[in-house]
Structures are given as structure tokens and as C-alpha cells.
Amino acid sequence: MNFTSEEKQFADSLKFIARNLEIKEHIQQSPELYPLFQRSAKRFVTGESKEDGLAIGNQLINKGYRISLEFIGENTVSREECVQAKNEFLRLIQECGAQGLNTRISFDLSHIGLAIDSELAFQNLLEMAKAAHDNGVSLMISAEESNKTEQVLSVYKRAVARYTNIGVTLQAQLYRSLDDLKELLDYSGTIRLVKGAFQEPSDICIPRSEKLNERYLELVDLCVESEHTVSIASHDEAINKHVIEHGYLKKPYVEAEMLYGIRPDLCKQLKDAGLPIRVYLTYGSEWYLYLAHRIAEYPPNIYVAITDMIHGAEDTSVHY
């Protein structure tokens, strides 16, 4: 969707607030505010444990969906926390393998070390990739702020040369992504395309607009023309219409992907039509930033969030 000027100001303000650690800590430590915001987060986050994520994941798989699971977290600032995060991902991977779930595990490289040392992130990624390979699971590196993009892609290129079950996410809003994609087409990993949820300097990114939609579809077209495995991660109706009308989702190397709690009606429509749709599930206690981004991406969600604070979010899974 294209934002009005007021919606853009609101979204930018919310992204700024989301990154303010003092506000985040105040909410997380407040016995009054924490449960209110947590009630809103339940619409978009499966819960705080991997059991919560796997429970919803199994429900969706049984309904015919593909799934992606993420233990929420980013910008981990100590080696001990990075190891703890990596170990949680290893447990998640092993549990998916034990349950025979052919799923995808998504994560930020900064959750497993990138904010400290690229080599730490690389080594942790290799350990996860080996475990994923042994358990029939794939990995997907998420997009992060533009000041990390070069590091993210560098680590990815090194790792995917060893393990082909690793994919990477590109943000269409960044001008550089067109050149990045042309280079990544030479690598075997799945490419996941998103518009981009981060507040970036205006000289390096395309604002929400028809121009951004055109760039997004340009990236999609390049992947399809190259017959490269691609995940089209967008809730935009215009983009999905283009993808469906061009028959892209009938190609074996193309899938649609949407976030849990966002457009379950469209997800069900695509799935019931026999088209491949992946639902992106998250779990963990670091849900505050994730909730803020879901509202910033679609400002009218603020009404839903406030309603959920008052009445509690209904069970999102029933709509799939």
C-alpha cells in the first residue's frame, strides 16, 4: 500500500520509538504496560517458547501451508547471549527434524554475533547450517538495517558456498538491492524479497510508492527469468495480483510468503487455489520491536492493537 503523508509520519515515528531502548525497557519492566502490549503482540507472535511456535506451525502444516519459524531477537551485544541464541536455534532445528518438519528457520545474523564480530556470526551460522542439513531443514537470513547489509551479504556468500540450504533476504526499498540481486543470482541459496521495514536515509532508499512496487516487481521478474528459487514476501495486493496473473506461483521455484497474523484471508485463498504459500511464524520474549514494525508497515493496525489491548487478541490460527 502507499502511505498518506500522515501515515508515513506515523510509521516513521513508530519505527523511531521502536528503536528507543529506554522506551522498550520501560514497557518490558512495567507491570501495567507489559501485559497490555503483550496482548496485542499475540495477534502476530505465536508465544514466547519454541513449543508455542511449533504448535501453531504444525497446525498450519496440517492445513497445507509451508512455514518459517523464527526465534525473535537481534543486535545481541555479548558473546554469551549470541551463543545462547545459537543454541536455541540448534534446539529448534533438532526439534523440527525430530518431528519430521520440512520447514525453514529464519533469523537475524545480528542475533548470533554480527553486532559483535562477523566471524562469530559466520561460525555460528555454519554450525546451524550443518545441523539444518542433517535435519532436513533450510535457513533464511533476514534483512537488517542498511548499515549491516554489506556484512550480511558477505557472511551469506561465504556460508552458502559450503551449505546450499541457506537463503538470504533483500529489501526492495534499498537502491543497491538491484545490483545485489544480480550478483546473488550466481549463488544457489533461496532469495527472499521484502519491501523493507526499516527507517532508512532518503538518499539510499525508495519510499513507499508506486516506484517501490515497480522496483519490487523488477526484482521478482529477474528471479523468475533466471529460474532462481525465490520467496515473494509481500502482503501488497497489487504485487500479489501481478504475481498470480503472470503465473509465477505455478513455477516450482517460486512461492509466496506472508507474516503470521497479516492477511490470513489472502493466505487461505492462495492455499485453497493450490498455490504455494509460506507463513512466517515468530516466538520469543523480544516481541516489542516486532509488534512495532507490524503496526508501522500498516498504520491502521494501530486500531487493532488498541482493541487487542482492551479485549485481548483472538486466536489468529483459526483464520488460516
d(CA 20, CA 199): 13
Q: Binding site: what residues are annotated?
A: 171, 195-197, 234-235
Give the C-alpha distances (Å, rounded to integers) separating 209 from 213, 221, 247, 299: 7, 19, 24, 15
Is residue 131 within 8 Å of residue 94, measured between CB atoms? Answer: yes
Is residue 168 within 8 Å of residue 151, measured between CB atoms? Answer: no
Q: Binding site for FAD: what residues are annotated?
A: 171, 195-197, 234-235
DSSP character for 257? Answer: E
* Helix-strand-coil split of the chain, %, nearest 5: 55, 15, 35
Amino acid at 300: P
- Which residue's entry shows cell 509520519? 9
DSSP character for 77? Answer: -
d(CA 100, CA 58): 10
Q: Which residues of 222-258 are buried (b: 16+ CB within 10 A; e: fewer)?
A: bbbeeebbbbbbbbbeebbebbbeeebbeeeebbbbb
DSSP character for 250? Answer: G
Instruction: Please state whether beta strands 66-71 and 277-283 pair in parallel, antiparallel, or not at all (unpaired).
Output: parallel
